[in-house]
Amino acid sequence: MAFPNHRDSEAVIKTPEEIELLARAGQILSGIVKDLKRSLKVGMTTQDLDLKAQELIASYQVTPAFKGYRGFPGCICVSVNEEVVHGIPGKRVIKEGDVVSIDIGIMVQDYFSDTAFTIGLGNISADLRTLLGVTQEALYKGIEQAVIHHHLSDISFAIQSYVESHDFTVVRDFVGHGIGRRLHEYPEVPNFGPPHTGPLLKEGMVLAIEPMVNMGTWQTEILADGWTVVTKDRKPSAHFEHTVAVTKLGPRILTEW
């Protein structure tokens, strides 16, 4: 779940034992995502997807992270086409050619895991295929920079540079975040900015890195429901996210699906 762009205090460094607990949560979440992807079909409503996610989360005997969080009514965020993030599940029908972003999180033994993906339904346009491919690759470009002694902004710069080299834009009003015993921890992880600034990355930091990439303007609006973020020009958007640990061996993706 994307975090509004603001400051907190300091990063929470996780012990090796905590990293393993977070890895277990990530492994469970990855299994849920694989099953959820297989269930996604044209003609479903976003509420149908939410109910399927609830069933899957219950089958693993873990807790949904988003349900009730700051009043969010769904188990997952489902954002379609021009919706960037935080789409509330409801009666919207998923159609051929739509792109659907699903953001999902769980809590396992008091530790959170968070991931997101965007998928095209049926025969999507070439431009949309490129948007999805660039957004997913931008995520991995950012993850490559999650290395001890790099600066946090090296992640941001890698994402922004890659996205803008393909003539897309990165959302600036919502960012990634630290994660652990809380769903949202310091530091925030913007998807834009100059390199070599901000805090140094340290072993034991765990970050939810999540580029949100728009086909048109980077600017967004929040709808009247108080949650759903849409592109200001109503052009499509894509969103990919992994929970990543900074380790002495390099970045470790805890939610690889």
> 2-13 burial, b for 16+ CB within 10 Å, e for fewer?
bbeeeeeeebbe
Q: What is the pTM of this model?
A: 0.96
pLDDT digit string (tens) for 128-165? 999 999 999 999 999 999 999 999 999 999 999 999 99
pLDDT, average across residues 55-66: 98
Nearest CA-CA partner of 243 in 218, 198, 196, 210: 210
Number of structural domains in the chain: 1
pLDDT, average across residues 3-13: 75
Q: Which helix (H) or strand (E) holds 56?
A: helix 46-59
pLDDT digit string (tens) for 19-47? 999 999 999 999 999 999 999 999 999 99
What is residue 6's predicted lDDT score, i.e. its pLDDT?
57
**Domain CATH code at residue 85:** 3.90.230.10
- What's the domain range around 185? 3-253
CA distance 166 to 14: 36
> In the chain, pLDDT over 90 holds for what percent of residues?
96
pLDDT, average across residues 111-124: 97
What is residue 50's predicted lDDT score, i.e. its pLDDT?
98
What is residue 8's predicted lDDT score, i.e. its pLDDT?
55
